[in-house]
A = this chain, B = another copy of it.
Amino acid sequence: MNNLAPSDKALVPFVSVDNMMKLVHHIGVEPMLIGLADYIEADFKRWELFDKTPRVASHSEEGVIELMPTSDGEVYGFKYVNGHPKNMKEGLQTVTAFGLLANVGNGYPVLLSEMTVLTALRTAATSAMVAKHLAPKGATTMAMIGNGAQSEFQSLAMKAICGVDTVRLYDVDPAATEKAARNLEGWGMNVVACKTAEDSMEGAQIITTCTADKQYATILTDNMIGAGVHINAIGGDCPGKTELHKDILSRSDVFVEYPPQTRIEGEIQQMADDFPVTEMWEVINGTAKGRTSDRQITLFDSVGFAIEDFSALRFVRDRIKGTERFIELDLLADPDDPRDLFGMLQRAAS
């Protein structure tokens, strides 16, 4: 111990990728998905009090780097996230992310965390929390179209939160389906590998689309969709990237996170600016209707919103307490006398 050691005030808990994975296993994958869904639902309930700044995007030819800030008036959070489609070819992640929480009252950061793993979990938890409100009662089967990095998380969240027991996998690349099926072994679900998208939808009450196709794709066409299903559309999440034929949107009741963002990034970018949508937080609060009939097609046009990241970071902040799943970073200068930063610097020389 010496008086040059950083004070507690200067230290910010940091959760690395390694510690995040250990935290997930410490809590359990399914309990963590349930816990995240609870935090996200709680924040959707108090949606109105959040500062909903649009993302701050820096575009380049190769991709985009975004900052997604929000605040509930007591806690401030932001996520750094990039999207670079060509990264995969070079053995890099298309998307990486990290996030931060800070105390609004004094501006001091209180958590820095990896968010690549955490975003995968919060995206799945959000989908399942929404499906709990919108999917037909007693839904037990999900079609999972697109078997990339998000597919196993989606499957397990739907199991843990909605009681889905069967997942029907389909991907244009059979190797992806094989990978997802292998990863889902031993998790207590019936896993069916399917050869076509149509096949995967057989008997499914929930249809999740999560493909990485760029450009306007048509993963689902209108004639593939019967009455009464819930569509969880994850993959269409940036301008020029959609998965559903617009006729499906016309037949569905569309639910969104934050309309100004979804109209730019979601499936509804294909529709007119006044295409009717329902904000999901109003359904959860009871101020708007969710599913009203067995025949209705509900569609969650999900693009991912800053508040979900905020909820996920809150969950991590609360759950690392008393664990060894973080280290303390000496991120903030904390001189004894705030006016004497130079004195602190000088003393560090000796």
- Which of B88, B117, B334, B344 sits near A21, CB closer than 8 Å? B344
Task: Kindly state whether residue A138 has any CB partner on chain B within 8 Å.
Answer: no
Least CB separation from A121: chain B residue? B345
Does A82 have its Cβ within 8 Å of any Cβ on chain B?
yes
Q: Are A340 and B21 in contact (CB under 8 A)?
A: no
Residues of B near A149 (CB, < 8 A) are: 335, 338-342
B179–A340 CB distance below 8 A: yes
Give A133-154 as 1s and 0s: 1 = Cβ < 8 Å from B's Cβ atoms: 0000000000000011101110
Within 81-109 of A, Cβ neighbours of B (below 8 Å) are at 82-84, 87-88, 90-96, 98, 100, 102, 104-109
Q: State the A residues within 8 Å of B (CB).
A: 4, 6, 9-10, 14, 16-18, 21-22, 24-25, 29, 51, 53, 56, 58, 60, 62-65, 67, 69, 71, 73, 76, 78, 80, 82-84, 87-88, 90-96, 98, 100, 102, 104-109, 114, 116-117, 120, 147-149, 151-153, 176, 179-180, 183, 329-335, 337-346, 348-349
Given A9-B92, A63-B106, output 16 extra A-B contacts at Cβ < 8 Å.
Answer: A4-B18, A6-B17, A18-B348, A53-B56, A80-B102, A80-B109, A82-B106, A82-B108, A88-B338, A91-B338, A92-B334, A93-B335, A114-B333, A116-B332, A116-B333, A149-B339
